[in-house]
Amino acid sequence: MGRIVVGYDFSAGSAKAVGLAVDIANRWRCDLRLVYVSERYEDEVPLREEIERRVSELAMGMKEGRMEYVVRQGSPAEELAAQAEADRAELLVVGTHGMSGLKTNLLGRNSYRTIERSAVPVLIVREDFDFNKDLERIVVPIDSSEETRQKVGEAAMFGRTFGSVLHVVGLYSSGAKETHRTVDTYVQNVERYLERMGVRFESRRREVERNVAADTLAYASEVGADMVVIMTEQERHLSNLLLGTYAQQIINQATMPVLTVRPKQVMTENSNY
């Protein structure tokens, strides 16, 4: 049985993250570990008493797996990533308000530090997202970068888990014919893969009008996406020096959960490409 790791600090944002993690854990039939990271000294006796009280309430939603917790001290990003690696976690879930306590325009920076350090996929969950429905529509942007398809295995797994439709969008980041041919080939490969896996999908192509991040989110808004799946280093050469990397821009601006996958973090199924 696998494990999902979740950052938790009693805030509403981290509670939302736990709620979604519980739903995923029940569907994957795996355990859940809550991680409280203290950046300064705290009296552990009352802290653990409060955590245990909260965990006993949250654990009522678990159907098969167990819910446990651990207290770590240090940088939230580093400690969460370290715990996920130690647990060989399937997924690390972080609430945008839950682990930083900062204003909205700074939340992405802290979340991005987490995905930079994590060796496992990271699901970034916004506190204000509506979780009263399933993840019905998942956007998977495909660009001309060599790593872009590596996230499709993770996206397909979520698609099977929730019965979602994957909205595959090929993004032409330039008018060059070679870029178009590369994106078209990648999208066709993804389509064949999803057909073999029995995952429902729709696909389309579009020219990038502003930048890859902005157009990804515009498309996600058009289709009413419940999640966007990205690579952490996707289209690095198109990063805006003022806005930050592609992943930073997506995390800062997305109104829905964002699943991030590091390059070369490929599921076995992806070897069929």
Q: Give, rounded to a whole angstrom, the gap between the first and last alpha carbons of the chain.
A: 27
The pLDDT score that the predictor gives to residue 270 is 44
Residue 130 lies in a domain: no
**Measured between alpha carbons, how far is 205 from 186 in angstroms, rounded to an integer?**
11
**Measured between alpha carbons, how far is 130 from 16 in angstroms, rounded to an integer?**
10
Nearest Cα neighbor of 216 from 111, 157, 140, 158 is 140
If asked whether residues 112 and 162 sit together in one domain, one would say no
**Measured between alpha carbons, how far is 229 from 185 in angstroms, rounded to an integer?**
19
The three-point CA angle 84-88-248 to 5° equals: 40
**Measured between alpha carbons, how far is 266 from 120 in angstroms, rounded to an integer?**
10
The pLDDT score that the predictor gives to residue 95 is 86
Domain end marker among 85, 100, 125: 125
If asked whether residues 74 and 162 sit together in one domain, one would say no
The pLDDT tens digits of the residues spanning 157-166 come to: 999 999 999 9
**Has residue 221 got a pLDDT over 70?**
yes
Residue 253 lies in a domain: yes
The pLDDT tens digits of the residues spanning 9-61 come to: 888 888 888 999 999 999 999 999 999 998 777 777 888 898 899 888 888 99
If asked whether residues 111 and 166 sit together in one domain, one would say no
If asked whether residues 167 and 207 sit together in one domain, one would say yes
If asked whether residues 116 and 143 sit together in one domain, one would say no
**Measured between alpha carbons, how far is 143 from 75 in angstroms, rounded to an integer?**
33
> What's the alpha-carbon Rg for the chain, to the nearest Å?
18
The β-bridge partners of 231 are 261
The pLDDT tens digits of the residues spanning 51-105 come to: 899 888 888 999 989 999 999 999 889 999 999 999 999 999 998 753 443 334 3
**Measured between alpha carbons, how far is 215 from 44 in angstroms, rounded to an integer?**
46
The pLDDT score that the predictor gives to residue 143 is 92
If asked whether residues 148 and 112 sit together in one domain, one would say no
**Quick check: 85 and 2 in contact, CB under 8 A?**
no
**Quick check: 8 and 36 in contact, CB under 8 A?**
yes
Domain end marker among 93, 125, 157: 125
If asked whether residues 152 and 255 sit together in one domain, one would say yes
**Has residue 273 got a pLDDT over 80?**
no
If asked whether residues 194 and 225 sit together in one domain, one would say yes
| DSSP three-state, residue 175 | coil
If asked whether residues 203 and 79 sit together in one domain, one would say no
> What is the number of domains present in the chain?
2
Nearest Cα neighbor of 125 from 4, 15, 218 is 15
Task: Provide the residue range defining the domain that includes 255.
Answer: 137-272
More reliable by pLDDT, 121 or 241? 121
Residue 132 lies in a domain: no
User: Can you tell me which residue has the tokens 């993690």?
Assistant: 21
Residue 197 lies in a domain: yes
The pLDDT score that the predictor gives to residue 252 is 82
More reliable by pLDDT, 144 or 210? 144
Average confidence (pLDDT) over 1-11: 88
**Measured between alpha carbons, how far is 56 from 233 in angstroms, rounded to an integer?**
38
Which percentage of the chain shows pLDDT scores above 70? 86
Residue 202 lies in a domain: yes
Question: What's 133's DSSP letter?
Answer: S
**Measured between alpha carbons, how far is 47 from 53 in angstroms, rounded to an integer?**
10
If asked whether residues 165 and 262 sit together in one domain, one would say yes
Residue 259 lies in a domain: yes
**Quick check: 111 and 124 in contact, CB under 8 A?**
yes
If asked whether residues 142 and 262 sit together in one domain, one would say yes
Name residues whose C-beta falls within 8 Å of residue 11's C-beta, 6 or more positions apart in sequence.
Answer: 95, 97, 98, 101, 127
**Has residue 115 got a pLDDT over 60?**
yes
If asked whether residues 76 and 171 sit together in one domain, one would say no
Residue 106 lies in a domain: yes
In whole numbers, what is the pLDDT of the chain averaged over residues? 85
Average confidence (pLDDT) over 211-221: 93
CATH for 191: 3.40.50.620
Least confident of 103-112, 209-218, 259-268: 103-112
The pLDDT tens digits of the residues spanning 179-202 come to: 999 999 999 999 999 999 999 999
Which tokens belong to 149?
A: 């398809």
Residue 184 lies in a domain: yes
Domain end marker among 60, 90, 125: 125
Residues making up the chain, counted from first to last: 273
